[in-house]
Amino acid sequence: MESLKTYIPNIPEVEKKRIVVVGGGFAGLKFVRKSLCRDFQVVMLDRNNYHQFQPLLYQVATAGLEPSSISFPLRKVFQTEKHIHYRMGEVFEVFPEEKELSTSLGYLKYDYLVLAMGADTNFFGQTNIQQNALTLKSASDAILIRNTILENFEAGLMQTSPDKLFEYLTVVLVGGGPTGVELSGALAEMKKYIFPKDYPELDLSKMRIILYEASPNLLSGMSANASRLAKYYLERLGIEVKLSTSVVDYDGQTVKLSDGTQIATKTMIWAAGVKANAIKGLSATHYGRGNRIVVDRENRIAGYKYIFAIGDLCIMSTPRYPNGHPQVAQVAIQQANKLAKNIHKIARNEEAEQFRYIDKGSMATVGRNLAVADLPGLRLRGFIAWFLWGFVHLISIVGVKNKLFIFLNWSWNYFTYDQSLRVLIKPKIRYKPIIPPSETT
């Protein structure tokens, strides 16, 4: 006999149509905040109980910011909205015919479903790299990177062999996109300003920061001039930039490269690509490049009138972007805004508007007073680009308190050349005490 389904409790059944939003990232949160209309009941599901500002994760990884500064509790966002219900859980499968979801909390019915689960790291099928490399997609990833680097420096103090010391002081980054460029630049500044004060016994000339990019250019989504300047800035900071070179294996000790050479290191950070998070219940025909869900110009999944996908999760072909839009925050935000307006039209059986992406430009910071910015009709570099980058990111952070803390941290770091968050915080490991043999008899 088939067991009865268990539905998520304490979500009231009301006459309003129910919108279920999966994911509290840029796309999901913007959609819910933009469509704050009492015409619907909204249920948001996310595996975390907070929204995190991913563009600044690299500063958490390099001890510049606290994880809480770039995170904001989802319940606090919605605490005055009685028609919005948040639940912390994972979504397993969608059943379009029944208009239901299977989750870690139970089943959930929907009238409209908005998928906004974002993307995760793409290892391109390289199992060893997936098991041994560090990634930077979440606050916990950033803390692990910070802990690993600090632990390796502590271990480096105990080495008497120059070769072993090189292993602990060498940091390899893979991927020349914004994450790889910004993280390597921040590490170079730690090498210059922080580590000499913290580890005066170490010869930091032996520390190597190596950035590998498989393509001929850094920052492939930006202009050739921005790519050239980023490479120049990084090399000026002492970073070894290796273009047209891919990493093919890493066993936790040795990095193997496409040209046959090897690098011994205890730290490899993988930022070479992303792939969309999949969900069961959709056929293989619904997925396109990078495992992204194919949607039409209204962000509707083909064949499903009431299921939508927005942000990094989806791929939409337009005349200007035949292979899909770039997987950046601005696309996610603009798609969420458009769908929030369209969902009311759809509910009234009106014709929805098609999405058109307005490119507001791209920016990347390399280090103190060093950045590049490609804006519509304008190319910026150096201090002006760096200042603009900081301003744009600061106003984009959720929460006044977070904005203030980040501004204070940035100001302190800028004027003192110090980052005061270099602490090793590790979870307590539960273990059974070792009983001496004499006490077992």
CATH number at residue 27: 3.50.50.60
Asked if 131 and 235 sit in the same domain, the reply is yes
Range of the domain at 373: 127-272+368-416
Asked if 104 and 28 sit in the same domain, the reply is yes
Let me know if residue 222 belongs to a domain. yes
Q: Which amino acid is at 307?
A: I
Strand 254-257 versus strand 247-250 pairing type: antiparallel
Q: What is the pLDDT of residue 35?
A: 67
Q: Which amino acid is at 194?
A: I
Could you tell me if 29 and 45 are in contact, meaning their C-beta atoms sit under 8 angstroms apart? Answer: no
Q: What is the pLDDT of residue 1?
A: 37
Of the candidates 75, 371, 84, 105, the residue with the CA atom closest to the CA atom of residue 222 = 371
Q: What is the pLDDT of residue 330?
A: 94
Asked if 403 and 372 sit in the same domain, the reply is yes
Let me know if residue 52 belongs to a domain. no
Asked if 252 and 397 sit in the same domain, the reply is yes
Sign of the torsion angle spanned by Cα atoms 61, 63, 68, 69? negative
Asked if 107 and 155 sit in the same domain, the reply is no
Number of Cα atoms under 13 Å in the Cβ half of residue 252? 5
Give the number of domains in the chain: 2
Last residue of a domain, one of 297, 318, 347: 347
Strand 254-257 versus strand 262-264 pairing type: antiparallel
Q: Cβ–Cβ contacts within 10 Å for residue 141, how many?
A: 17
pTM to 2 decimals? 0.90
Asked if 395 and 342 sit in the same domain, the reply is no
Q: What is the pLDDT of residue 28?
A: 95
pLDDT along the chain (441 residues), means of 10: 77 92 95 80 94 94 91 91 92 95 95 95 93 94 94 93 92 96 96 93 93 95 94 97 96 94 96 91 91 95 94 94 92 96 92 94 94 94 95 90 90 83 69 55 46
Let me know if residue 385 belongs to a domain. yes
Asked if 103 and 229 sit in the same domain, the reply is no
CATH number at residue 155: 3.50.50.100
Asked if 314 and 241 sit in the same domain, the reply is no
Q: What is the pLDDT of residue 2?
A: 47
Asked if 174 and 213 sit in the same domain, the reply is yes
Asked if 163 and 205 sit in the same domain, the reply is yes
